[in-house]
């Protein structure tokens, strides 16, 4: 009795598989991207501060969908294509709200501008005019050099008669200021003169507001990872100062050298309201990749963030409207931050 050999399969058919069995590695990669977008703090920070590095550029992780989509189409993998819905949904959940139009702020609102004017800025007068063109109530500055200060004062004086300067940070205001004092946010190990925080009370038509202006230490990305230890230490000191503030309404403006997703800024983001609208990437000005210039508040709502035209700085200015709660309301008394985006 003879047996006929089985019909030969087309070459490579077994290896190719079906659309549902191909592309499992691509599907796993898509799932991993979704997990990182949803749970970035699952990445530990003890080694090279990789967690903070990921969080600093977290919105850009969504771009991983593009090459994965191309490979899934090339492989004709239904499994990979279906799995790509996971990172798309995760990105939409985490950042989609920032793309939506903001609500119209209430009548009791302050327009504020935050800008690191750069200690290498060769056009301070033009920079001051750019900031004033936004017609803000408050203008916060960092890296203000003593040599440039007279030009800022002269340019802004007609519309901003009140200002406070401590070290290299400053606040210009349309409204009277009082109780100005430095805020000690200097990390250990810095021995030279270092004054980069101030607190003052702004007497607005809607009530008193405690305004903080801060410039946290710089971070660098290198072979050793993210060097953010001093920034994180300074954020803890600033967070303690804000938590101890007796005035119910607080506004924090500053170059915090970190994004709101970075766990290093948790001492601040855990107790202050953030904007729910607008990416407003501010650094570097030539090709903005992240917003490290921040506006946060307690007892008030931060409106949509936007960037202003470039100045002579390596940062872009950031502007927004802050809606103040009516005097005597629970939020105005500092009952804690309102819900913010996840």
pLDDT digits (tens, 9 = 90+) for 320-342: 999 997 665 655 544 444 433 43
Kindly list the distances between the CA atom of residue 259 and the CA atoms of 57, 95, 140, 206, 264, in Å, as whole numbers in the listed order.
8, 13, 18, 30, 9
- The one-character DSSP state at 174 is S
Alpha-carbon gap, residue 266 to 273, rounded angstroms = 12
Write down the H helix ranges in the chain.
13-16, 24-38, 50-56, 65-75, 78-83, 85-95, 124-132, 149-156, 229-243, 266-269
Q: Which of 27-31, 111-115, 220-224, 298-302 has the lowest mean pLDDT?
A: 220-224
Alpha-carbon gap, residue 154 to 126, rounded angstroms = 12
User: How do beta strands 169-173 and 250-255 pair?
Assistant: unpaired
Alpha-carbon gap, residue 268 to 128, rounded angstroms = 28
Alpha-carbon gap, residue 55 to 61, rounded angstroms = 9
Task: Say what the pLDDT of residue 232 is.
Answer: 95
Residues 151-185: pLDDT tens digits? 999 999 999 999 999 999 999 999 999 999 999 99
Alpha-carbon gap, residue 285 to 18, rounded angstroms = 48
Helix (H/G/I), strand (E/B), else coil: 264: helix
CB atoms near residue 180 (< 10 Å)? 16
User: How do beta strands 162-166 and 169-173 pair?
Assistant: antiparallel
Task: Say what the pLDDT of residue 341 is.
Answer: 42
Mean pLDDT, the chain, rounded, equals: 90
Alpha-carbon gap, residue 151 to 172, rounded angstroms = 13
Residue 46: pLDDT over 60: yes
Torsion of CA 41, 42, 44, 45, to 10 degrees: -10
Task: Say what the pLDDT of residue 4 is.
Answer: 58
Residues 6+ apart with CB under 8 A from 214: 142, 169, 183, 185, 196, 197, 198, 234, 238, 252, 253, 254, 255, 256
Residue 221: pLDDT over 70: yes
Of 5 and 108, which is predicted with more confidence? 108
In this prediction, residues 92-115 reach a mean pLDDT of: 88
- pTM recorded for the entire structure: 0.88
Task: Say what the pLDDT of residue 9 is.
Answer: 54
| Residue-wise DSSP of 297-332 | EESEEE---EEPPP-SSSS--EEEEEEEPPTTSTTT
Residue 14: pLDDT over 50: no
Residue 28: pLDDT over 70: yes
**If pLDDT is split at 50, 70 and 90, which confidence band does 105 have?**
low
User: How do beta strands 221-222 and 225-226 pair?
Assistant: antiparallel
CB atoms near residue 136 (< 10 Å)? 24
Long-range contacts of 145-148 (CB under 8 A, 24+ apart): 145/119, 148/117, 148/121, 148/124
In this prediction, residues 293-310 reach a mean pLDDT of: 97
In this prediction, residues 220-232 reach a mean pLDDT of: 81
Of 244 and 223, which is predicted with more confidence? 244
Q: Which domains does the chain have, with CATH numbers?
A: 19-99 (no CATH), 109-324 (3.60.10.10)
Residues 259-273: pLDDT tens digits? 999 999 999 999 999
Alpha-carbon gap, residue 238 to 214, rounded angstroms = 8
Q: Which of 26-30, 79-83, 98-102, 109-113 has the lowest mean pLDDT?
A: 98-102
Percent of the chain exceeding pLDDT 70 equals 88
Paired tokens of 262: 């970075």
Torsion of CA 19, 22, 23, 25, to 10 degrees: 150
Task: Say what the pLDDT of residue 6 is.
Answer: 57
Residues 174-216: pLDDT tens digits? 999 999 999 999 999 898 889 999 999 999 999 999 999 999 9
Residues 6+ apart with CB under 8 A from 107: none
């Amino acid at each position: 009795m003879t047996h006929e050999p089985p019909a030969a399969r087309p070459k490579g058919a077994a290896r190719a598989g079906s659309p549902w069995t191909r592309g499992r590695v691509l599907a796993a990669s898509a799932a991993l991207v979704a997990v990182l977008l949803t749970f970035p703090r699952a990445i530990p920070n003890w080694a090279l501060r990789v967690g903070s590095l990921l969080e600093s550029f977290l919105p850009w992780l969504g771009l991983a969908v593009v090459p994965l989509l191309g490979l899934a189409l090339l492989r004709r993998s239904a499994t990979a294509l279906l799995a790509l819905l996971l990172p798309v949904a995760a990105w939409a959940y985490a950042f989609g709200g920032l793309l939506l139009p903001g609500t119209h702020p209430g009548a009791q609102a302050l327009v504020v501008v935050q800008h690191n004017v750069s200690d290498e800025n060769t056009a301070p007068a033009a920079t001051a005019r750019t900031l004033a063109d936004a017609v803000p109530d408050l203008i916060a500055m960092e890296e203000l050099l003593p040599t440039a200060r007279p030009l800022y004062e002269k340019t802004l004086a007609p519309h901003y008669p009140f200002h406070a300067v401590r070290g290299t940070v400053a606040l210009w205001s349309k409204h009277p200021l009082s109780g100005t004092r430095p805020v000690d946010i200097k990390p250990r190990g810095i021995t030279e003169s270092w004054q980069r925080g101030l607190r003052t009370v702004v007497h607005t038509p809607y009530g008193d507001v405690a305004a903080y202006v801060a410039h946290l230490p710089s971070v660098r990305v290198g072979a050793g990872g993210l060097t953010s230890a001093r920034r994180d230490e300074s954020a803890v000191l600033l967070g303690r100062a804000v938590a101890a503030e007796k005035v119910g309404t607080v506004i924090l403006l500053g170059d915090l050298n970190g994004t709101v997703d970075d766990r290093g800024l948790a001492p601040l983001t855990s107790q202050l309201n953030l904007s729910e609208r607008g990416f407003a990437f501010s650094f570097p000005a030539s090709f903005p990749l992240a917003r490290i210039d921040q506006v946060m508040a307690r007892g008030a709502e931060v409106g949509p963030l936007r960037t202003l035209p470039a100045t002579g700085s390596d940062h872009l200015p950031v502007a927004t409207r802050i809606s103040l709660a009516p005097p005597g309301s629970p939020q105005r008394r500092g009952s804690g931050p309102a819900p913010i985006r996840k």
